[in-house]
Structure 1
Amino acid sequence: MHKEDKIFAAPMNSVEDFKFDEAVADVFPDMIQRSVPGYHTIINTIGELAQRYVTPGSNVYDLGCSLGAASLSVSRATSKTPCQIFAVDNSPAMTKRCERIVQSFTLPNAIDVQCQSAQQTEIKNASMVIMNFTLQFIAPADRPALLRKIADGLTPGGILVLSEKIRHPSAAGNELLVDLHHQFKRNNGYSELEVSQKRAALENVMLTDTFSVHENRLKDAGFQDVVMWFKCFNFTSLIAIKGPKETGVE
């Protein structure tokens, strides 16, 4: 049984910026389930995509792995495809718990848990890279270079799975999606106070982009195609595909 998320249940004199600290790590499974529509669908589909795209002897990188749900999904789905999975997060609280969770399973493909930032991680010989609600917490100025590094480190035909909370281009449309998401949270047991304080905590640290910004930036980084495969309210998951190896002309 997961611990219930009560982090924002009591009134706060001053709401601090959201951090992936011990308190969040302690309730993260409950928090993510009650806050992100379609989370389990996304995790399960990451495994299905791994079956399709992960190649023998390649690497898989789960950047911003939190407690390792996506990495575990990949490992279980690739039992017939030997690969190395790297679960990376810059939160010591998350990686400590992730390490314990990973070690509690007998897995077909090993998961190497590393405490470092996505920007610090070397991407090489990768058939699949996952950023499941991670890019939105990285400074906007750093996003293009990180995506170029990922594209460069992918093998031809490899993919980046990018899940993000996005912003609708119009203010009215965006507010509608925000309201629908907040109602989703209320329906999952969060109070009006919790919804309000959590929104304030995320305001300065989760900086969202529109789909078109994501698409253009991914193509500028070197991806051939960008496929939106999931969307619910203002949450989406994309598959960015690196093109096949170019052959020289004689």
Structure 2
Amino acid sequence: MGQAIAIAFAKEGADVAILHLESEQDASYTEKRIKEIGQEVLVLKGDIGDESVAEDAIAKVITKWGTLDILVNNAGEQHYQEKIGDVTAAQLDRTFRTNVFGMFYLTKAAMPYLSTGASIINTSSITAYRGSSTLLDYSATKGAIVSFTRSFSGNQEVIDKKIRVNTVAPGPIWTPLIPATFPDKKLEKWGEDGSIARPGHPFELAPAYVYLASSDSSYVTGQTIHVNGGVVVNG
């Protein structure tokens, strides 16, 4: 998803910084593709669950370009567990540290440098709205992201700088995370419960982020765009 989002922004003329943890091959491909498009790219590596990593990443962006117009908080992890008793303290901490703490740290570090009229776009999930019995901690983090988005969009500091804060809530998007997370028996009809009756692909999700960063969404803040193949949720 992050790769597709980064490439979509590059196609619209943005210079892009990407932050990854382990996916060297994916990061290299993304860097190469953005350069082919004709935009500048900055590749950073680190664990955004560590506040110092988030601060350093923002500092490097500002050193390179001097300004920051769009912040996309997209890092995430999930762990399939059928029983709450199998969710260890370490797993709970790890999931929240990546999905929630990382978003908070990056946003906090970015705020002094975000330009007037900038856009912050967070990644939630359909699980924030309808839950997931086997992704308890993950679903909880995604609910927290929705709440943070709604709350921060009304923060006076954000309002004063005319920054819009929104979130995208993907449904079943087919990425390497899915087969790495779910047992084979759960993958047979995975993503077929929406009216489109198939999983989505990252390139189908990325335009929602571009929209929320563009002037076309100038009257949209504190909101969630649901890209989920036709699953109707309260949101």
TM-score, normalised by the number of residues in structure 2: 0.46
- Between Structure 1 and Structure 2, the one with more strand by share is 1
User: Larger radius of gyration, structure 1 or 2?
Assistant: 1
- Between Structure 1 and Structure 2, the one with more helix by share is 2
